[in-house]
Amino acid sequence: MTAFNASTSKVAVLMGGRSAEREISLMSGQGVLNALQSEGVNAIGFDPAQHSIAQLKEQKFTHAFIALHGRHGEDGTVQGALELMGIPYTGSGVMASAIAMDKQMTKRVWRAEGLSTPASVWLPPHKQTPESINAIPHELGLPLIVKPPHEGSSIGISKVSTPAQLEPAIALATRYDADVLCEMFIEGDEVTCPVLGHGEDAVALPVVKIVAPQGAYDYQNKYFTDAVSYHCPSGLPVQEEQAIQALTLAAYKALGCRGWARADVMIRASDRQPYLLEMNTSPGMTSHSLVPMSALAAGISYTQLCLRILSQAGLDSRAGVEAS
């Protein structure tokens, strides 16, 4: 496997794609591309929606920086193609990517490991009946969250405060996914925590606290407004931040992640118990993104972050061996 060398490697920055997060991926990819090129890396943007992925091999790319978000980019499919072509890539491998992209499977793993995550009800198509839907508030209480389990960037997510809102929320989620995940709402602080590295060398970066208007940390506020305020340092008590970092590291390792990722966490106001929501294995790298913000608080610039992530590009066949 070819070790990354800034002067000899040819890097494809994979961006765009066909998922509902295409627009954000293009923004992330352009940022990464500019950063790598500024350091003399032979990096070229590559959109799998416009070019066959097989061209990566034909054009002799040695590495891939995955800046794709959502399906066909963050779910193990592109990772599998790169494995077959023998092109080392950034981020988690096929299995960890596939599991983390499926919020229901992620919860199953975390629960098996004894890690805290909100109670939930999974509704595959055959269970999306009036009887099953009407039973959900009794099981999870109100308010609750309804989301498509295979999407990110808060796409298709609704907060349901009354039983009458439940059916429209499920209808919205099914526009993006055949399955629906209903989740207990955790009232409290919203935070996120990135991780860099592999195995025992993985480290959690500083926690970022997110404060959104009326708690609406949605797609629009995430990427296209300045209405959300981010706090890094988080301002949380030291022991609380350390507990969130430890929980995030445990969650990262339980899923088999490598390279980098970012966990989203809610801290319940009543007892300050942190709850894992999801793990993003190809986090955003836009001007509003949280991994670069956290890295900067740890003394790592955006460009340094991109180079560090790229330097750990690898293949599943080399998992457990020092990334090259």
Which residues are marked as active site? Answer: 21, 153, 223, 262, 264, 278, 280, 284
Residue 89 has what DSSP assignment?
A: B
Whose CA is closest to 128, among 156, 148, 111, 105? 148
Distance separating alpha carbons of residues 110 and 97, to the nearest angstrom: 15
Sequence-ordered list of residues with C-beta below 8 angstroms from that of 321, at least 6 positions apart, any chain: 314
Residue with tokens 């023998």: 86
Query: Helix or strand or coil: residue 147?
Result: strand
Kindly report the number of other CB atoms within 10 A of residue 106's CB atom: 22
114 close to 152: Cβ distance less than 8 angstroms: no
66-80: b or e for each residue (b if 16 or more CB lie within 10 Å)? bbbbbbbbbbbbbbb
4 φ, ψ to 5°? -70, 130
Residue with tokens 């602080």: 189
Kindly report the number of other CB atoms within 10 A of residue 86's CB atom: 12
